[in-house]
Amino acid sequence: MNAENRGNHQFSDADLQHLRRCVELAAEALDAGDEPFGSVLAAADGIALAEDRNRVSGGDQTRHPEFELARWAATNMSPEHRATATVYTSGEHCPMCSAAHAWVGLGRIVYVASTEQLTAWLDEMGVPAGPVRPLPVNDIAPGITVEGPVPELTDRIHALHRRFHTGE
């Protein structure tokens, strides 16, 4: 984790608008019985192009929104547009999604909560570790610009994960 990732970054109003939408999508996922994660893909001009939320409750644990958005970008965007796009997300990309993001040549990532934060929350709740090591994006894809966490929204994401795992 470099200094830019420590939460003292200033986020623009446009960034925060997309990040708030990610939180809404995470809440929608939770209401549908899925894990509380949501993501928005925005073009260089700030216009949202696509969004998705976690959809793993059907049994396919690869149905992460960041993975869906990477595949959407590969199908629908030129390499030039992908490189200047930003993916906003409620939680930092997992290794699978980091790899997909990098392989399709997408640009910046901005997340509300870091993998480090999520891992600490899950530990506190006694949730067993998953089958994939919880590495930060830049350990998987060193060339991607990554910004976060976003302190003003992190508590809301923490609350959604608490509700998912403990029902509180």
Q: Judged by CB under 5 A, which stretch of 48-56, 57-65, 124-132, 158-166 contacts Zn ion?
A: 57-65
Q: Which is nearer to Zn ion, 42 or 97 (CB)?
A: 97
Instruction: Confirm or reject binding of residue 97 to Zn ion (CB under 5 A).
Output: yes
Supply the minimum distance, in Å, between the C-beta of residue 99 and Zn ion: 9
Is 35 or 147 the residue whose CB approaches Zn ion more closely? 35
13-31 vs 151-166: helix crossing angle, rounded to 10: 10
Stretch that binds Zn ion, among 87-95, 100-108, 114-122, 144-152 (CB under 5 A): 87-95
Complex with Zn ion: residue 128 or 167, whichever CB lies closer:
128
53 near Zn ion (CB under 5 A): no
Burial class (CB in 10 A: 0-12, 13-18, 19+), 50: middle
Residue closer to Zn ion (CB basis): 14 or 165 = 165
Task: Report in angstroms how near the CB of residue 97 gets to Zn ion at its nearest.
Answer: 3
Binding residues vs Zn ion (CB under 5 A): 64, 94, 96-97
